[in-house]
Amino acid sequence: METAADLSAYGLVSKIDMARMNMLCEAPPEYSPQRVVAIRTEVARMSQQVFASMLNVSVSTVQKWESPAAEKRPSGAAAKLLQLVEKKGIEAVLA
């Protein structure tokens, strides 16, 4: 990011590209079961099976994320994909 910021200062990286890089480098938040359900049902509007397929995880993983009793939460690449879907819509991972 430091290099990109330096390049931006010289006009070699656009403001739009800097905003995209900032978002990609931003650490994803913690996702509660309720938040995962909201992203899947309200943003993506998908069944667990279709949503799992789009994120390249198993249906049981999505079920565990959505279950408060399971205590399993999305992390790493899955959390980043959820962050993109939450902010940009499901189209962000379809493109």
The pLDDT value recorded for residue 67 is 97
Tens of pLDDT, residue by residue over 25-72, are 888 899 999 999 999 999 999 999 999 999 999 999 999 999 999 999
- In the numeric block, which tokens belong to residue 41? 């049902």
Q: What is the pTM of this model?
A: 0.76
Please check the confidence at residue 23 and state whether its pLDDT lies above 80. no
Contacts for 40 with CB less than 8 Å, ≥ 6 apart: 46, 48, 51, 62, 66
User: Average pLDDT in the 73-85 region?
Assistant: 93
- In the numeric block, which tokens belong to residue 51? 């949503």
Position with higher pLDDT, 20 vs 51: 51
Q: Where are the domains of the chain?
A: 1-29, 33-94
